[in-house]
Structure 1
Amino acid sequence: MDLAYPFAGRWLVRNSPADRVPSHGTALFATSYAIDFVPVDATGGTAPLTPGSLVRPEPPGRFPGFGRPVLAPAEGVVVAAHDAEPDHMAYRGLPSIGYALTQRRRAAAGWVALAGNHVLIESRGVVVALCHLRHGTVEVRPGQRVLAGDRLGRCGNSGNSTEPHVHVQALDSHDIEHAAAVPLTFGGRLPRNGEIVTAHTP
């Protein structure tokens, strides 16, 4: 399915299916073709790495993309919207190792524990999920029709996330546990890991 980028500005590509499938190392919850976008500043960086970053968790507000608008990547109808999960600390360096060890527990807890605050949009028979939104910022509700570029919420650090970013995936059903993954492109192409993409508001 071809989408518009669900944001404006500069974002770093991570876990792209252009480099491996399944992109996140698992097919659980139809994530085989999922992709992550990390908001960066004008220099292409996230929060400056300090000695403290390597040994303790950091507030998500330190990161330049925390709170950036997340936009609808296609016209469609909202089929789910969840906004009850807190934003947690970000983890780099040694703290990221400890956080990774708890991932199995989150996976066992189900989709919401992994996705955090999220919106599902059904468009042309495909369901697009946008995940890890900031608590208290989701602006849409199930049944609402959206156009590409409409604001859905803001970039956060909820769910299975080590730093503020947006996780995007497509599925053939909104029954997440039984859905199959659908490949994605953005403007006709799939960016690779490490690429910085720049998008403008539609």
Structure 2
Amino acid sequence: MLAPIGGHVVRAHDAEPDHPAHRGLPSVGYALTQGRRVSDGWAALAGNHIVLRVGGPGLFLALCHLQKGSVQVTVGDVVGTGDLLARCGNSGNSTEPHLHLQVMDGPDPTAAAAIPFTVHGTLPRSGQIVAWD
């Protein structure tokens, strides 16, 4: 996964396991672990994740559900648009590999408010960079 925008890494978490993917309804085993993830907090729900400060004060981007062991950045790193960050995974509250993007007004997702954002154009192909608005 490439950085959709440049910024400073303020959080990087890479310790959550990936789950087997489930098509359709999640398995009973996966459903039984849901309560544990909720009680374990945001990191357990987001799985492996990176949070970037991406502009002036009060603009942060979280990238969640990354593959365990794939995060390529550490807190304090400066990344540019298109830099390699990690691999898409299936960690946290996830039934199939995908990338969750969350724009917010602070670096702590448990206290920050969400900020609406738009990705213009079609869904990107592998390696394609889309415009940030």
- In the alignment, the residues of structure 1 paired with residue 124 and residue 77 of structure 2 have an alpha-carbon distance, to the nearest angstrom, of 28
Task: Map Cα deviations across residues 53-89 of structure 1 (whole Å, 9 max, x no partner).
Answer: xxxxxxxxxxxxxxxxx11111110001111111121
Task: Tell me what 1:90 maps to.
Answer: 21
**Aligned Cα root-mean-square deviation (Å):** 1.8
> Counterpart of 2:38 in 1: which secondary structure?
helix
Q: Counterparts of 1:77 and 1:198 in 2: how far apart (Å)?
A: 23
Give the CA deviation at 1:107: 1.7
Paired with 1:146 and 1:167, the residues of 2 have a C-alpha distance of 19
Cα offset, 1:108, TM superposition: 2.0
Distance 2:35 2:115 in 1: 24
SS for the counterpart of 2:123 is strand
Instruction: Please name the residue that 1:197 is paired with.
Output: 123
TM-score scaled by structure 1?
A: 0.57
Q: Give the corresponding residue for 1:149.
A: 82
Structure 2 unaligned spans of 5+: none
| Poorly superposed stretches of 4+, deviation over 4 Å | none
- Number of residue pairs matched by the alignment: 125
Instruction: Give the TM-score, by structure 2 length.
Output: 0.84
- Paired position in structure 2 for 1:122: 53
2:35 maps to which of 96, 100, 104: 104
Task: Name the amino acid aligned to 1:82.
Answer: H
Instruction: Note the residue ranges of structure 1 that are not aligned, 5 or more in a row.
Output: 1-69, 190-195
Specify the SS of the correspondent of 1:181.
coil
Match of 1:159 in 2: 92
Q: Residue 105 of structure 1 aligns to a residue in which SS?
A: helix
Matches within 5 A, 1:1-202: 70-94=1-25, 96=26, 98=28, 99-100=30-31, 102-124=33-55, 125=57, 126-187=59-120, 197-199=123-125, 200-202=127-129
Percent identity between matched residues is 54
Instruction: Give 1 or 2: higher strand fraction.
Output: 1
Structure 1 residue 101, shift from structure 2 partner: 5.1
Measured against aligned partners, the alpha-carbon deviations of 1:20-46 in whole angstroms (never above 9, x if no partner) come to xxxxxxxxxxxxxxxxxxxxxxxxxxx
Distance 1:100 1:184, change over 3 A: farther
Bigger Rg over Cα? 1
CA distance in 2, matches of 1:136, 1:178: 27
CA distance in 2, matches of 1:133, 1:183: 22
Q: In the aligned structure 2, how far is the partner of 1:85 from the partner of 1:102?
A: 13
Deviations 1:102-127 (Å, cap 9, x if unpaired)? 43331221011101111100011311
